[in-house]
């Protein structure tokens, strides 16, 4: 298919009736394409959505197959590559794009520059949303019209088609989205970290990493990587970038040449300064970051590196970081009760995120468990053993964590919540149990390392019920 196809009458199929699928279907319809949406599900909710899509054909359930004559498939992020729809498209020579690929191709020139707004892109196993929101805060402090878009905030399609154009976009991209975005060429991009996740979708760790690495392809100014995670630097080395694009590392130690780091509590840039062999720029302080947990400081350095690659001055970086506050359920302090601090990190839905959270506190009464998604917990248990006062285990796959703790932290008391309970009742018991195990000066940390859907609607509900149970303790 050409770079800029003739949309009028183009026979397109959109996979999925989720938010991104509905958005893509409407955009394609408005461009003049013939649009069919397919979804393997069925039921009243999906049928109601379908009824709202005027001028669009919707096929549910068994009808989620490739229609004859299809010329383009646009997929929602969650559909795996081995779906029959995509296998049929491949056999028929029909290209498959994601919503990000579609948005990239629909970018419009900015009236002030004559060029589309540049994308500063972020991916990684953990920290993407926080980093992109930090970046948007910095860009706003610099006076740019911007938004956090992609896998967070504003839909990327809505952003590129906005009536009032953006100057620059801070774009969060998942591995799913990157898999289906072959033309994407950001101004600069960062991979924050790499740890096993979504392997059921990608098929292997190698395939997962390769999709993450797509974010570096064609970068113009900077490929930002994590000095503490050699796999991210390896992705930079493999990327095909524009001439002059630089590799910029970030880490929590004193930065070497061309890197970002920390010196005596200050955030420091030794990459985007004159005579960087001898000079550095102070771009903020650890105390500017809320909360100042190590992994959150690393997120801030990655955001700062992308902003500096775009040309933002040091003062705007500092002001943007000071103005930023994280979303709920991300290492959020709920309360201090009886000299025990209660932290909600319900968003820590995998072992990598939980390890970062556990590293920020000690001693810890750890609340963990849920749906493991195929994860193993030996490395996490071993790394956290010296920080744990006790553990309270919940959820379907709690036994995996219990067994890992028995192997690597046998002296740590482990209490399992009653089986069969869900929602508020379960969380109230868990918090009371954790409180009974904690001592003054301890932290009770909800960092489950697992998904939530076995006991709660989502991680948001899990965190909300944790906070409510803690507040009940205060009363």
How would DSSP label each residue in 452-473?
Answer: -TTTSSSHHHHHHHHHHHHHHH
How do 259-263 and 266-269 pair as beta strands? antiparallel
CA angle, 134 then 135 then 140, to 5°? 100
- 194 pLDDT exceeds 60? yes
In this predicted structure, the answer to whether residue 154 has a pLDDT above a threshold of 90 is no
Query: Distance between CA atoms of 333 and 422, rounded to whole angstroms?
Result: 23
pLDDT score for 433: 96
pLDDT of residue 90: 93
Tell me, what's the pLDDT at 291? 85
More confident residue, 203 or 448: 448
pLDDT band for position 197 (50/70/90)? low
Which tens digits make up the pLDDT trace of 334-377?
Answer: 999 999 999 999 999 999 899 989 988 989 999 999 999 888 99
- Which residues contact residue 212 at a Cβ distance below 8 angstroms, ignoring those fewer than 6 apart? 123, 124, 175, 178, 191, 194, 235
Average pLDDT over residues 30-55: 90
- How many Cα neighbours within 13 Å face the side chain of 389? 21
Ordered alpha helix ranges (H), 289-337: 294-310, 314-323
What's the pLDDT at 328?
81
Quick one: how far is CA 360 from the chain centroid?
Answer: 20
Per-residue confidence band for 326, with pLDDT thresholds at 50, 70 and 90: confident
DSSP 395: S
3-state secondary structure of 247: strand
pLDDT value of residue 3: 63
Q: Yes or no: say if 86 and 96 are a contact pair by the CB < 8 Å rule.
A: yes
Average pLDDT over residues 453-472: 94
Residue 461 has pLDDT above 60, yes or no: yes
- Looking at the DSSP bridge assignments, the partners of residue 246 are 222
Contacts of 351 (CB under 8 A, 6+ apart): 195, 375, 376, 377, 379, 380, 449
How far apart, in Å, do the first and last CA atoms of the chain sit? 64
pLDDT at 202: 62
Give the confidence band of 200 by pLDDT, cuts at 50, 70, 90: low
User: How many angstroms separate the CA atoms of 33 and 13, rounded?
Assistant: 10
Q: Is the pLDDT of residue 146 over 90?
A: yes
Average pLDDT of the residues in 23-33: 94
76-124 pLDDT, tens digit each? 877 888 889 999 999 999 999 999 999 999 999 999 999 999 999 999 9
Distance CA 345, CA 198 (A): 20
Residues 6+ apart with CB under 8 A from 416: 392, 393, 394, 398, 402
Instruction: Give me the chain's average pLDDT, please.
Output: 92
H or E element that contains 133: helix 128-141
pLDDT at 4: 66
Average pLDDT over residues 378-385: 95
Residue 418's pLDDT is: 86
The pTM (predicted TM-score) of the whole model is: 0.82
Average pLDDT over residues 392-416: 96
pLDDT of residue 82: 86
What's residue 376's pLDDT? 92
**Across the strands, what pairs with 392?**
367, 415
pLDDT at 13 over 80: yes
């Amino acid at each position: 298919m050409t770079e800029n196809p003739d949309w009028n009458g183009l026979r397109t199929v959109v996979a999925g009736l989720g938010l991104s699928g509905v958005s893509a279907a409407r955009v394609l319809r408005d461009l003049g394409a013939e649009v069919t949406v397919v979804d393997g599900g069925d039921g009243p909710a999906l049928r109601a959505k379908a009824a709202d899509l005027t001028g669009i054909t919707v096929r549910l359930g068994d009808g989620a197959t490739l229609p004859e004559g299809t010329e383009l498939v646009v997929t929602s992020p969650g559909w795996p590559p081995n779906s029959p729809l995509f296998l049929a498209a491949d056999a028929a020579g029909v290209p498959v794009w994601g919503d990000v690929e579609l948005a990239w191709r629909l970018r419009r020139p900015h009236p002030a520059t004559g060029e589309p707004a540049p994308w500063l892109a972020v991916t990684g196993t953990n920290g993407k949303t926080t980093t992109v929101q930090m970046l948007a805060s910095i860009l706003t402090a610099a006076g740019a019209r911007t938004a956090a878009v992609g896998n967070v905030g504003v839909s990327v399609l809505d952003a590129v088609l906005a009536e009032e154009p953006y100057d620059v976009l801070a774009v969060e991209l998942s591995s799913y989205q990157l898999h289906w975005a072959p033309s994407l060429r950001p101004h600069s991009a960062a991979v924050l970290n790499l740890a096993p996740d979504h392997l059921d979708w990608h098929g292997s760790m190698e395939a997962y990493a390769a999709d993450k690495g797509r974010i570096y392809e064609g970068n113009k100014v900077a490929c930002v990587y994590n000095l503490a995670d050699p796999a991210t630097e390896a992705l930079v080395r493999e990327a095909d970038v524009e001439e002059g694009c630089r590799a910029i590392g970030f880490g929590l130690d004193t930065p070497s040449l061309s890197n970002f780091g920390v010196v005596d509590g200050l955030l420091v840039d030794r990459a985007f300064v004159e005579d960087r062999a001898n000079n550095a720029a102070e771009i903020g302080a650890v105390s500017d970051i809320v909360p100042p947990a190590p992994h959150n400081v690393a997120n801030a350095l990655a955001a700062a590196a992308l902003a500096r690659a775009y040309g933002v001055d040091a003062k705007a970086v500092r002001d943007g970081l000071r103005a930023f506050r994280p979303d709920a359920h991300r290492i959020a302090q709920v309360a201090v009760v009886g000299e025990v601090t209660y932290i909600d990190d319900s968003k820590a839905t995998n072992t990598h995120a939980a390890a970062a959270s556990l590293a920020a506190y000690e001693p810890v009464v750890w609340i963990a468990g849920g749906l493991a998604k195929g994860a193993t917990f030996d490395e996490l248990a071993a790394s956290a053993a010296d920080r744990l006062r006790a553990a309270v285990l919940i959820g379907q796959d709690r036994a995996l964590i219990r067994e890992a703790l028995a192997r690597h932290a046998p002296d740590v008391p482990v209490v399992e919540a009653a089986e069969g309970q869900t929602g508020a009742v379960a969380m109230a018991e868990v918090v009371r149990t954790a409180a009974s195990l904690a001592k003054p000066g301890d932290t009770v940390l909800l960092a489950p390392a697992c998904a939530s859907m076995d006991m709660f609607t989502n991680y948001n509900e899990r965190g909300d019920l944790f906070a409510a149970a803690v507040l009940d303790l205060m009363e």
